[in-house]
Homo-oligomer: A and B are copies of this chain.
Amino acid sequence: MPIITNVRVHDVRFPTSLDADGSDAMNKDGDYSAAYVVLETDSELSGYGFTFTIGRGNDLCAEAARQRALPLVGQDVDTLLDDLGATYRELASDTQLRWLGPEKGVVHLAMAAVMNALWDMAARRAGVPLWRLLVEMSPEQLVDAADLRYLSDALTRDEAIAMLRSAAPGRRQRLEELKARGGYPCYTTSAGWLGYSDDKLRTLLREAVTDGYRHFKLKVGADLDDDRRRLRIAREEIGWDAELMVDANQVWDVPQAIEWINALAEFRPLWIEEPTSPDDVLGHAAIRRAVAPIGVATGEHGMNRVLFKQMFQAEALDFCQLDSARLASVNEILSVYLMAHKFGVPVCPHAGGVGLCELVQHLSIFDYVAVSGSLDKRLTEYVDHLHEHFVDPVIVSNGHYALPSRPGYSAELRDETVQRYRFPDGQYWLERKAQDLLVTTR
């Protein structure tokens, strides 16, 4: 009977702002960061999880994760992992921390980090990758793990079980299909950051076409003339049969969004992503009605399952881009997948950042095999950054995520990475501080 003996939490930050990687109309200078949780036991078993931020404030998430995880110390590992729904509800029941959201912002990001580590640990204990742990759970087990609180007006427990049961017979066949086609389909955002020059944009798009991609996403929203020039370049490079998506990262009010998107319609985008405040359910619904057939996508800042419930109820979304480190791990993500399936909205998870690709590959496989049973209009984001820091990095080729094979949720960072990029005392940041001092004192 192993027990949890320790929680270690690290504030790990990468200096991505130096290269304008990840730059968009809202976020010009992100330093991709992870509030990284390691759950240790008195056996060889450990659990690794994180939430993703873009720099300052990552320490807040790390400290919140430490506070969230403290009640786990001293508890029996098997009891915790045999019923991850109960474990989740126990951690969520801290009403003093709940006040700080509720179920949103820093304390919810922290919940994601901690529960991600527990799901990782559960998969490691079973000796399988997380996606396999999930596809081998029964409908009842999955629904017991899901957080259905506040959702019963959109999805009842019985409906959820019935949907999963009806998808159960095809699980094995769909898994074989995925293997045969080389994994789960993805699209790339690597070329389209707003801070890249036209030349760099063109070169990267050309490379991506050569690499077999058929879907490409560009950042828009800072300047309409720039957007039109960049989208023209994109269509020149990818042609008109490939799919082009655009992403405004929340810069517009609702009326402005409608006007701007319609001004880009000639480039035939598949979707407009984050056209306005991520909290604005009714705004997204209004935009969707006004820009059709261009689809509306959002979700990377979708704070919790209650927001997604309303997005589905209001018919506000064509694509659901849930985030694996913002929603409170598999427990809450399961609920969103189940609702999306009921409402007929494809889930195309947000990824990129640091480690999000590593997580979402598991979720997408699970969705296809055990929930939606469909690849129609489904593709998962892929960004070619920072994978070298993971022990079990994604393998992407020919526009597909290969099925991960190692036990766990692929969330473990390499020890050298944590040592080097830990903020503010990792070697990289110490060197950078010394350099900055040098520049300042010259």
Q: How far is the CA of A28 from the CA of B64 in the complex (A)?
A: 21
Indicate whether A426 reaches chain B with its CB closer than 8 angstroms: no
Q: How far is the CA of A357 from the CA of B61 in the complex (A)?
A: 30
Given known A60-B60, A60-B100, contact A309–B280 (CB-CB < 8 A): yes
Q: Mark A151-174, 1 if CB is under 8 A from B, else 0.
A: 111000000000000000000000
Q: Which of B55, B67, B108, B276 contacts A150 (CB 8 A)?
A: B276
What B residues does A96 contact at CB under 8 A? Answer: 29-31, 53-57
A277–B28 CB distance below 8 A:
no
Closest to A249 in B: B95
Closest to A283 in B: B153
Indicate whether A59 reaches chain B with its CB closer than 8 angstroms: yes
B253–A57 CB distance below 8 A:
no
Nearest-Cβ distance from residue A50 to partner chain B, whole angstroms: 14
Indicate whether A233 reaches chain B with its CB closer than 8 angstroms: no
Q: Mark A424-435, 1 if CB is under 8 A from B, else 0.
A: 000000000000
Nearest-Cβ distance from residue A110 to partner chain B, whole angstroms: 9
Indicate whether A26 reaches chain B with its CB closer than 8 angstroms: yes
Main secondary structure on chain A at its contact with chain B? Answer: loop
Nearest-Cβ distance from residue A30 to partner chain B, whole angstroms: 7
Q: How far is the CA of A256 from the CA of B102 in the complex (A)?
A: 20
B64–A60 CB distance below 8 A:
yes
Nearest-Cβ distance from residue A261 to partner chain B, whole angstroms: 14
Indicate whether A303 reaches chain B with its CB closer than 8 angstroms: yes
What B residues does A103 contact at CB under 8 A? Answer: 277, 279
Closest to A152 in B: B253
A254–B100 CB distance below 8 A:
no
A303–B104 CB distance below 8 A:
yes
Indicate whether A27 reaches chain B with its CB closer than 8 angstroms: yes
Q: How far is the CA of A26 from the CA of B92 in the complex (A)?
A: 12
Q: How far is the CA of A14 from the CA of B101 in the complex (A)?
A: 20
Copies in the complex: 2
What B residues does A53 contact at CB under 8 A? Answer: 96, 99-100
Q: Mark A45-69, 1 if CB is under 8 A from B, else 0.
A: 0000000011111011101100100
Closest to A304 in B: B279
Interface residues on A, range: 35 or more
Q: How far is the CA of A101 from the CA of B59 in the complex (A)?
A: 14
A95–B29 CB distance below 8 A:
yes
Given known A253-B150, A255-B152, A279-B306, contact A105–B101 (CB-CB < 8 A): yes
Q: Mark A124-149, 1 if CB is under 8 A from B, else 0.
A: 00000000000000000000000001
Indicate whether A286 reaches chain B with its CB closer than 8 angstroms: yes
User: Which residues A233-264 have CB closer than 8 A to chain B?
Assistant: 250, 253-256
A94–B277 CB distance below 8 A:
no
Nearest-Cβ distance from residue A279 to partner chain B, whole angstroms: 4
Q: Which of B31, B277, B282 contacts A313 (CB 8 A)?
A: B282
Indicate whether A195 reaches chain B with its CB closer than 8 angstroms: no
What B residues does A54 contact at CB under 8 A? Answer: 95-96, 99
A150–B99 CB distance below 8 A:
no
Indicate whether A359 reaches chain B with its CB closer than 8 angstroms: no
Can you give 20 A-B contacts (C-beta < 8 A)?
Answer: A29-B95, A30-B95, A30-B96, A54-B96, A56-B94, A56-B96, A57-B97, A57-B99, A57-B107, A64-B106, A100-B106, A102-B250, A150-B253, A152-B253, A152-B254, A153-B254, A153-B283, A153-B286, A280-B309, A281-B310
The 5 closest A-B pairs by CB, nearest first: A105-B105, A106-B106, A55-B96, A56-B96, A153-B254
A interface residues (Cβ-Cβ under 8 A, vs B)? 26-31, 53-57, 59-61, 63-64, 67, 94-109, 149-153, 250, 253-256, 276-283, 286, 301, 303-304, 306-307, 309-310, 313-314
Q: A27-B99, A61-B100 are in contact. List 15 more A-B contacts (CB 8 A).
A: A53-B96, A55-B96, A55-B99, A57-B100, A100-B109, A103-B279, A104-B279, A105-B105, A106-B107, A149-B253, A152-B253, A279-B304, A279-B310, A281-B281, A282-B310
